[in-house]
Amino acid sequence: MVPAQYNDNEDNILYELLVHAEWPLEQEVIGGGAISLGGNFFYRTVTQTPGNIWALASSLWAYVSSAPAVSPSLAKLVGGRSGWQLGVGAQGAVVAIVQAATLEIRAKKDDFASVVGRNINLYIDPFPSWRRVAWSADCSMVGVSYSSGAVEIFNTLGTSIFIIYPPRYREGAPQVDASNALATLVFSDIRTQKIKWAAELILVDYKGGARSYFVSPTEGYQESHTFSFSKMYPSGITAATTHGNLVIVAGLCEYMEDNNLKNNGLGHGITIWRMVNDYPFYIQVPTIDEDEYQPPSIGVWNRLTGSRSTTLHDYIFQLCVSPTGRQLSTLYTSGSLSIWELPSLRKKKFWQLSLQPHFDAISPSSSEYIPCQKQRLIQYTGPLRNHLADVSWWSDAAVILARYSGAVTVSSVNSLRNLLGESPEFLEGVPQISEAYDRGFLGLEVESRINTKRLLTSSNEGSDEEEEYLESDGEEELSFIQRSSRLAKSALYWVTDAERFRPPSKRPKIVQRTFRLLCLKSTTPEELFARKIENEEYGEALALARSYNLDCDRVYQQQWRRSSVTVASIQDYLAKIRKRSWVLAECVSRVPENIDAARELLMYGLRGTDLEFIVCDSDVAYDDGLDIDPSEYEVRAQERAAKELKRRHECLMQIDFKNLTSEQKTVIRARQKLLTYLDRLATYEVLLGGAHVAPEHYDASFFDKFRSQSAISATIEFARNYDWRGVDAMFTYHGDETLPHRLAVLSSFPPTMGPFEYRLLLPECEEEEVFFWEQEQLRDEDWCEDPVEAVNEGEDDPADFLYAERPDMEKFEGVSLTAESVSEWYQERAREIERCSHFVDASLDLLKLGRERGVMDLEELHDTLDSLEVLVYEVGLTFMTLDKYSKLSDDDKIVQLMSTSTPETYIQNIRRWLLPFLARCEKWCPGSAQILLRTYVVTTAKQDLGLPLKILQHSRPDQHAQIIPSAEEMMTIAIDCVYACEKENQLPRAFAILECLPERETESLAKLHDLADALDAHLTAAELLVNVTPCQLRQLQSDPDKVREIFTKLTRAAARRGRTL
Work out the average pLDDT over 35-58: 48
Q: What is the pLDDT of residue 658?
A: 75
Q: What is the pLDDT of residue 793?
A: 60
Q: What is the pLDDT of residue 456?
A: 44
Q: Which of 360-374, 685-699, 901-915 has the lowest mean pLDDT?
A: 360-374
Q: Quick one: CA dihedral 849, 850, 854, 859, positive or negative?
A: negative
Closest CA to 200 of 277, 144, 260: 277
Length of the chain counted residue by residue: 1061
Q: What is the pLDDT of residue 667?
A: 86
Q: Is residue 482 predicted with pLDDT exceeding 90?
A: no
Report in angstroms the alpha-carbon separations of 316 from 40, 134, 303, 396, 614.
47, 21, 21, 21, 76
pLDDT confidence band for 200 (50 / 70 / 90): very high
Q: Is residue 840 predicted with pLDDT exceeding 70?
A: yes
Work out the average pLDDT over 817-823: 91
pLDDT confidence band for 39 (50 / 70 / 90): very low
How far apart CA 197 and CA 712 sit, in angstroms, is 78
Work out the average pLDDT over 54-78: 61
Higher model confidence: residue 1056 or residue 929? 929
Report in angstroms the alpha-carbon separations of 965 from 310, 897, 955.
110, 21, 7
Helix segments in 287-421, DSSP class H: 300-305
Q: What is the pLDDT of residues 203-220, one digit of tens each?
A: 999 999 999 999 999 999
- Residue type for position 194: K
Q: What is the pLDDT of residue 476?
A: 44
Other Cβ atoms closer than 10 A to 800: 10
How far apart CA 52 and CA 61 sit, in angstroms, is 14
Rounded to the nearest angstrom, the gap between the alpha carbon of residue 770 and the centroid of all alpha carbons in its chain is 50
Q: Which of 299-313, 329-343, 723-737 has the lowest mean pLDDT?
A: 299-313
Work out the average pLDDT over 75-80: 88
pLDDT confidence band for 69 (50 / 70 / 90): low
Determine the 3-state secondary structure of 42 from DSSP.
Answer: helix
Q: Which of 64-78, 302-316, 456-470, 949-963 has the lowest mean pLDDT?
A: 456-470
Work out the average pLDDT over 690-707: 93
Q: Is residue 1058 predicted with pLDDT exceeding 90?
A: no
Q: Is residue 91 predicted with pLDDT exceeding 50?
A: yes
How far apart CA 939 and CA 932 sit, in angstroms, is 10
Q: Which CATH architecture has domain 72-447?
A: 7 Propeller (2.130)
Q: Which of 220-229, 280-289, 618-627, 864-873 has the lowest mean pLDDT?
A: 618-627
Q: What is the pLDDT of residue 134?
A: 96
pLDDT confidence band for 745 (50 / 70 / 90): very high
Helix segments in 453-566, DSSP class H: 480-496, 525-534, 538-548, 553-562
pLDDT confidence band for 633 (50 / 70 / 90): very low
Report in angstroms the alpha-carbon separations of 393 from 112, 326, 418, 626, 1004.
22, 12, 13, 57, 121
Report in angstroms the alpha-carbon separations of 255 from 294, 308, 373, 794.
10, 16, 52, 90
- Residue type for position 163: I
The domain spans of the chain are 72-447, 817-875, 888-1060
| Inter-axis angle of helices 946-953 and 928-941, nearest 10 | 140
- Residue type for position 998: P
Work out the average pLDDT over 244-272: 91
DSSP 1003-1034: GGGHHHHHHHHHHHHHHHHHHHSSS--HHHHH
Determine the 3-state secondary structure of 975 from DSSP.
Answer: helix
Q: How far apart are the first and last CA of the chain?
A: 118
pLDDT confidence band for 33 (50 / 70 / 90): low
